[in-house]
Amino acid sequence: MGYPVTYHCPHCGTLVELDRDGYLSDKAVTPYPFEGWEYADPDEPFEDGAADGVAFVCGESPSPADEDAADDEGCGARFYLSFVRFENGREIDPRRADTDGERVELAEDGGPESPRGPDGTDGPSGPTGGFY
């Protein structure tokens, strides 16, 4: 037996509804996918380990709060419902993925105080070139 569960789009706040089993293993709803998670579309099987989450497109279906809502409601952005995952009996922290993906290291010295601005001078009379 399924139960309707609603989720908010993290981009615009639009509600989407998904029929779920009685046991929910939700971890997070985010505007980005977790690295290493596999996502199913809402109309594909995703319960019982078939996927690590569900990928939505905001506005693909009417809001559950308004059954007569137009099909174009929502922002059209993708967002992701991620389920809890376990490995060797321990919950996997999606913020610390152990994959061979690209890593970024930040400079220790802090870099420049501010980004370099455009060449030329801007004075009280406005810019020296451009659109005007």
- For residue 40, tell me if it sits in a domain: yes
The secondary structure element, H or E, covering residue 132 is none
Does residue 45 surpass a pLDDT of 80?
A: yes
Asked if 56 and 80 touch (Cβ cutoff 8 Å), the reply is yes
Give the closest residue to 10 by CA, choosing from 64, 92, 81. 81
- For residue 97, tell me if it sits in a domain: no
Structure tokens at 23: 């046991």
Does residue 79 surpass a pLDDT of 90?
A: yes
Domain that holds residue 59: 3-86
How many folded domains does the chain comprise? Answer: 1
- For residue 16, tell me if it sits in a domain: yes
Structure tokens at 81: 């419902």
- For residue 74, tell me if it sits in a domain: yes
- For residue 50, tell me if it sits in a domain: yes
Tell me the pLDDT of the chain averaged across its residues. 77
- For residue 108, tell me if it sits in a domain: no
Does residue 93 surpass a pLDDT of 80?
A: yes
Give the closest residue to 81 by CA, choosing from 131, 117, 30. 30
Which amino acid is it at 114?
A: S
- For residue 32, tell me if it sits in a domain: yes
Kindly report, residue by residue over 28-41, the tens digit of the pLDDT.
Answer: 999 999 988 999 99
Record the pTM. 0.65
Beta strands in 15-91 (DSSP E): 15-20, 26-30, 39-40, 53-57, 78-83, 86-87, 90-91
DSSP-assigned beta bridge partners for residue 29: 81
- For residue 121, tell me if it sits in a domain: no
